[in-house]
Amino acid sequence: MKNAAAVLTDLSQPSNVATHSSIALVGSVDAAGAEEDGKRKEKELDALRRKPMLQALATKEVSSFRLAPWTALHTLARAVTLARRGAGRGLAEHWGSLKYNQALTGDSGAYMRLSAEGRETADYYKALQSDELGIGFALSLAKQILNRRYPQHVVSIVPADTSLRAGWALTSRDKGPRAGYRYRPRFFAEVWKPGEPSRVFPIESKGNHSNAATSHDQLASASAHVEAVHIGSWNETPSLVFSTELPVDGPSPSTPCMLPEETAD
């Protein structure tokens, strides 16, 4: 176990994070969605509503992505703090993210990867670790993308459930009209500048300790979650979907795919 000073030094050391977004990726995600719909048809289930016409992000928007573990963990902590009602629960989740303070390693000349402790943790809490760390990577990249696209604007991340509860009952304990659809995005990104209307982007993030094929399935599933929210006219709400691969051996690429935004400036 490292001492506190060594841990803090490691947390502040930025590393490269590989990103991948391409036309080929879009095709793989579409194929994964079609395969899942075929399985659902065999079970006599309806096909999922997915965001149509997935589009890859421009290379310039996802290139040169460097990240310190502390930034990813801080992004995760801020994202989940408001996800539960009650200050005590939120504070507990904020500090709970620090359980990953020795899960990632790397240096300025290398790609970030799971540390020995991160690999051992994966054996016991594999799904939880990949999902939660995936949030940190995905939202960090989302903020970079949106800051590059909208300079001199503020980008805020809000848990989707926190916002949606203002108008719908999401669980049996909530009061109000039922949402009526169990799929929904995990977060909203609000891009705003004083004196201008806000732009809102539904975001769904997933993570895995597996491979690209798993990410294709996850991105296809994520497209069903962001399809649940439309602001204004149908299919004019820009969205972001991510799947973060955290392989037990090797670097940890974050794999994004963007959806159409016909009405964006």
At 241, give phi and psi (nearest 5°): -125, 140
Q: Rounded to an integer, what distance in angstroms lies between the CA atom of residue 189 and that of residue 142?
A: 8
Q: For residue 259, what pLDDT is reported?
A: 45
Residues 207, 200 contacting (CB under 8 angstroms): no
Please state, as a whole number, how many other Cβ atoms lie within 10 Å of the Cβ of residue 44.
6
Q: For residue 90, what pLDDT is reported?
A: 64
Over its length of 265 residues, how does the chain's per-residue pLDDT go in tens digits? Answer: 567 788 888 889 998 888 989 999 999 999 999 999 999 999 999 888 998 888 898 888 887 788 999 999 989 888 887 766 555 666 666 667 778 888 998 888 888 889 888 888 877 788 889 999 999 999 999 999 999 999 999 999 999 988 888 887 777 777 777 767 788 999 999 999 999 999 999 999 999 998 889 999 999 999 999 999 999 888 889 999 999 999 887 665 455 555 444 333 3
Q: For residue 261, what pLDDT is reported?
A: 42
Please state, as a whole number, how many other Cβ atoms lie within 10 Å of the Cβ of residue 4.
8
CA distances from 167 to 55, 114, 156, 178, 198 (A): 30, 40, 20, 9, 19
Q: For residue 262, what pLDDT is reported?
A: 37
Write down the pTM of the prediction: 0.87
